[in-house]
Structures are given as structure tokens and as C-alpha cells.
Amino acid sequence: MKRLAVHCLALVATALPLASCTNADHADRSPIATSEILLTSEQGDKLARLENVPFEPGRATGTVITVYPDSARQTILGIGTSFTESSAHVLAHLEPDQRREVMHRIYGESGANFSLTRTHIASCDFTVNGKYSYAAEPDDPDLTAFSIAPDTVGFDPERYPGIKAPGYDLLPMIQEALSINSDLRIIASAWTAPPWMKDTGEWYIPGSPENDWQGSAGSLKPEYTSTYADYLVRYLDAYEDAGVDIWGLTPVNEPHGNGGNWESMDFSPESQSEFINTHLGPRLAASRHADTRLLIFDQNRDGLEHWADVIFSDPQTAPYVFGAAVHWYASTFKVFEDILDRVHHRYPGFDIVHTEGCIDNLGNAASGGIADPDGYQESGWFANDDFWWNPNATDWAYSAEWAGPGVVDHPVYTPVHRYARNVIVSLDHWVSGWVDWNIVLDRHGGPNHVGNFCGAPIMIDTATQEVYFTPVFHVLAQFSRTIRPGDRAVRTERVLDGLDADALHACATIDDERMLSVQLLNTTKQPIPFELQIGERRAAITIPANSVQTVRVKLSS
């Protein structure tokens, strides 16, 4: 595997005095002491350090990003990615030393240093064969046969040629990550209850009517609602006994269903509220997991508002709830910041956490999109940074030829832009944590037992053991290394001076040592000169074409 250097974030020691200002909401009161600029770009930069830029007295003009360091907002939980059985299966194709090196690149302090993560409870689409639970015996309300053994059995080399570590699996992957970074926060989500607990008796029902996203997944039988709460708590017990503390929990992934495409289970806001206040909430409170953060919803942002209104306003349910989990699949470019703002302002005591996003259905042929790399060796996504920096991806093969509803929200798009835009705009609008989906997949975007192949920050050719760190990995690493748990988001303003509204995006966070990190995305093919205003000082900066830039400024305490 080619080793790629990870750039250090050492600071430049440059004294930059700043005049004080009396309005705390409009200016920082202390001098700017040091700064640095990091860049990841289409031109090949990967967390590259650029020449430091001085701040000077005055008010910025033209295109301006203004940051208000003393106007603090939400506390950041972290930036990160997810553990899946599919990721573990791909990593099991590497020799242990090579796998360990990759894992250090992901979770190590000198690597991406991801801090917030997610995993699935029993099977999901990103499992090798799917359709497994921890309660395989039907009609077992006492869960006497409960076991997390499916997460530890590994992969038989006779069945899966090329496997180098037969005992490696989902739980060993998580344990290895914790051995590198013991402070990881892990959110766990179940895709479904065991089928015998559901009114359909099925994992999912393929071929559901078009646009009928609910009804095919099945709901809990009334007599097993309490059993399902016990099932989730037993999972927390078993993982804790294996040395894995689960930080957060969602009752189910995507409660609106997925059209019968893979494991799923329906909840309405009302039924999930009743499930929490009658069963899961009291079970958690009475268990050794009383501190586990319970997150509702766990589906697309455009549906968040109604769920928040039902559950956050319920005096019986709300005390058990930490916040809401959201995904990005309703659009390839919208962040739905208007919904995030309204939910936060109505319910400021609850966090909003992005728990899943990926380059969806990688490989579906569509106008302007790119299909499987075996068919398009020169234009595919594997070991090809150009794919990730340009408009090549499509969700579910949406394209200009489609005449159905929703196409306007799913044009062909640039993968890096989708990631960076979503992270930056989310943090600027009250989202406290951001988690990617599978951290590692094979060169085709799998394995996935229902053929839902997707992009991942790291993609590995399991035949050759070539490891490809995509541009998305470097962008997420840049965010993770400069936005840390406990930092506070701070208010920003943009004046784009005639630029398109999507040309330049910005957000900012500040840590306890008053290190201010300003994150910027230039979606255009031209460099954009702008001025960064902090208090009564400004700096003239240029963000190169098609790039993600981080400007770090040390403010004196």
C-alpha cells in the first residue's frame, strides 16, 4: 500500500495585534496571535499548509466572511464515520500490519482522528449476507437465545477467497478502533427488530409499490414491543461486556421505511414516542446504560420538523431524549438549513446529529454519471480523484431524462461538494455532530447483500490490496482534525458580492484555548479572493479553485 503523509497542524508563531471592540456579538475582544491555512483541493493538495496571511486593521469589503468568536452556539460532539460489517469484511482482506496502518490513518491522533462514529445493530444493507439478528429463535420473549456472535464469527477464507484475517468482523473492527482511540463516541442504530417481533414476519418485502415508502417494512407486534426494548438494552449490555461502550442509540434506522429494498421497520412519530416513554426510556434509565443518549427519527432532514414537534414537545417522552438524528438523502445539494433553524429555535435543549450520508447507489448508469469501474476503467471512481472533484455522481440513477417527482433535488453532482457543503452548512445551522456512512468499501462500493453499492472515504481493491484514500477522506480528515469534540460553533456571515449563492460556503468553531477554525468550500473552477473579518481586523485571503480550505486563527485569552 502506498503510504501518504499526514500533514502536521503546527502553528505559525506570528504576533498580530487586534484592536478591541465593545460589542461582543459583533467582534472579538482580544488580539489575533497566530494563524495557519490548510488546503485540500482538486489540484492535489491534501491538508497542505499554505503561507500564513496577516491581519490588518479595517473593515472588509467585497466578498466577505465575517466571524463572531464571542457569539457561541452549539457544542460540537465530533466528526467521523461508521463501522459496518461490510467495512470489516473489506479490511479482513488486508494483512494485519497493513490493516492496522489503515485504521491508524482513520482513528489515530496523527491521522484523521475521527471522534464521532456509528454502527448498526444486527443486519443492514451493508452486511455481507444480511438477514441476521441477535435473537434468532422465534417467539422468545425472554430472549434466552440472545447472542452478538454474528458480529464476531469472521469470514471463512474457503467461502471468501482472499481473506487474510478470518477472525476479523464488525466487533473486532470496533475493538481495534478503540485500541487506537479509546474516546470514540459510538451511536448504534437497528435497521429492524427480528422478524418474529414484527407484524409482517419478514426482514423486508421487496417490490413495494413505487413511492410507498412505509408499509413494506412492518411494525412491532404489540405483544413484542416491550421485548424489542429489552433486545436493544441486551445489545448495549453485550457490547459493554465486550469492552465497547455505546454512547448513543436510535430506536430504528429510517422509520419511514425504504420501499422494501433492505432491512427496515416502521415507526410513526407517535408510535416511537409511545415506545420511548413506555418501554425503551424506562428500560434505559433502570439499566447500567442510563447515560446512553437517545436520538429520535434517524432519517432525512426534510422530515425532521414533524418528528420534533411530536416528540420534543411531549412531556412524557422528552425527558428520555437527547436529540434527533438526521440523514441527507432527500437531496444531493440541499442541506435544509431552514428546517434545522426552526427545530433548534423551537427546541433549543435538544441536539441535532447527522448520522448517515454517502455517495448513494454508486454504479447506476445515468446521463452524466459514471458506472462500475470495471466497465469504465479510465473514467471510474477507483484511484481517480477527478471523479470525486467533478459532477459525476448520481443518486439512484436520477438524471435529466427522469420526469418523475424529486428529480430537481437529485441532479448529477460533485461528491466532494456534497460532503463539504453538508458539513459546513450543517454546523453553521445548529447540527452538533456529523457522521459519514461506511468508512471502507471495496472498489465496487460493497459488499452489499442487496446490491446497493455506495461510495466510501476509503475504497480497497480486495484482489490487489490497493488502498485508495479518496478526496472525501482527506476533506473529512481536515474537518475532523480542526473541529474537535467540545469546540463551540460560532456565528458567521457571508457577503458574496455577486457570486452565486453556492460558490462559497463557510462555518467556524472555537475551542477552549480560543483557537478559531474557519472552514470554507469553493465549488467553482476559479479561485475566489475574499476578506476574513474578525473583530476590527481583516485578512485578504484567496481560496483556490475547487477546494476546501481551513483558516485557523489563535485568539488571545
Q: What pLDDT sits at residue 211?
A: 42
Separation of first and last alpha carbons in the chain: 44
Cell of 20: 478591541
**Per-residue CA distances from 476 to 39, 81, 358, 384, 412 (Å):** 12, 9, 12, 18, 21
Nearby residues of 538 by Cβ (< 8 Å), 6 or more positions away:
55, 56, 57, 58, 59, 60, 531, 532
CA distances from 359 to 73, 310, 387, 438, 472 (A): 29, 31, 12, 10, 10
Amino acid at 452: N
Question: How does strand 116-121 pair with strand 78-83?
Answer: parallel
Closest to 427 (Cα-Cα) out of 22, 185, 62, 78: 78
Q: Is the peptide bond before 405 cis (omega within 30 degrees of 0)?
A: no
- Grid cell, residue 506, equals 463557510
What local confidence, expressed as pLDDT, does residue 361 receive?
Answer: 77
Give the C-alpha separation, 465 to 12, whole Å: 38
Q: Where are the chain's structural domains?
A: 32-75+488-555, 78-482
Rounded-to-integer distance, Cα 470 and Cα 529, Å = 27
* Whole-number Å distance between alpha carbons of 187 and 181: 16
Q: CA nearest 264: which of 174, 333, 327, 203?
A: 203
What fold, for 78-482?
TIM Barrel (3.20.20)
Q: Which residues contact 104 (CB under 8 A, 6 or more apart)?
A: 110, 111, 180
Q: Where would I find the H helices in 370-455?
A: 385-389, 415-427
Q: What does the alpha-carbon distance between residue 395 and residue 413 come to, in Å, rounded to a whole number?
A: 9
pTM of the model: 0.92
What does the alpha-carbon distance between residue 420 and residue 476 come to, in Å, rounded to a whole number?
A: 8
Burial class (CB in 10 A: 0-12, 13-18, 19+), 529: exposed
Instruction: For residues 85 and 123, give the distance between their C-alpha atoms in angstroms, rounded to a whole number.
Output: 8
The three cell numbers of residue 351 are 441536539
- Which phi and psi (to 5°) does residue 214 adopt? -110, 160
d(CA 54, CA 32): 10
Q: Does an H or E element contain 250, and which?
A: strand 248-250
CA 407 – CA 411 distance, rounded (Å): 7
Q: What does each C-alpha distance from 155 to 135, 161, 169, 520, 534 come to in angstroms?
A: 21, 9, 7, 42, 54
Contact (Cβ atoms closer than 8 angstroms) between residue 475 and residue 45:
no
| Short-list 278, 287, 307, CA closest to 241 | 287
Q: Alpha-carbon distance 100 to 515, whole Å?
A: 31
Question: What local confidence, expressed as pLDDT, does residue 156 receive?
Answer: 96
Position 373 scores a pLDDT of 53
Name the grid cell of 151: 458480529
Q: How confident is the model at residue 207, as a pLDDT? A: 66
- Residue 372 is predicted with a pLDDT of 52
User: What is the pLDDT, as a whole number, of residue 200?
Assistant: 94
Amino acid at 391: P
Closest among 33, 29, 38 to 14, alpha carbons compared: 33
Q: What 3-state class would DSSP assign to 281? A: helix
Cα distances (Å, whole numbers) of residue 381 to 57, 78, 420: 46, 28, 18
Mean pLDDT by 10 residues, the chain (557 residues): 32 30 42 82 97 93 97 98 98 98 98 98 98 97 98 97 97 98 98 97 77 69 98 98 98 92 95 98 98 98 98 98 97 96 98 96 60 52 94 69 59 94 98 98 95 95 97 98 98 97 98 97 98 95 98 90
Instruction: Report whether 350 contacts 431 (CB < 8 A).
Output: no
Characterize the bridge pairing of strands 64-75 and 351-356.
unpaired
Report whether 427 contacts 490 (CB < 8 A).
Answer: no
Report strand pairing: 64-75 vs 323-327: unpaired
In CATH, 32-75+488-555 is 3.40.1640.10: no
C-alpha span between 320 and 17 (Å, rounded): 48
Strand partners, 190: 121
Residues 6+ apart with CB under 8 A from 126: 84, 85, 86, 87, 120, 437, 438, 441, 447, 448, 452, 454
How many Cα atoms within 13 Å fall on the side-chain side of residue 277? 15
**C-alpha pair distances (Å), 399 with each of 332, 402, 507:** 12, 6, 31
In this structure, how many other beta carbons lie within 10 angstroms of the beta carbon of residue 296?
29
What is the distance between the alpha carbons of residues 505 and 518, in angstroms, rounded to a whole number?
Answer: 10
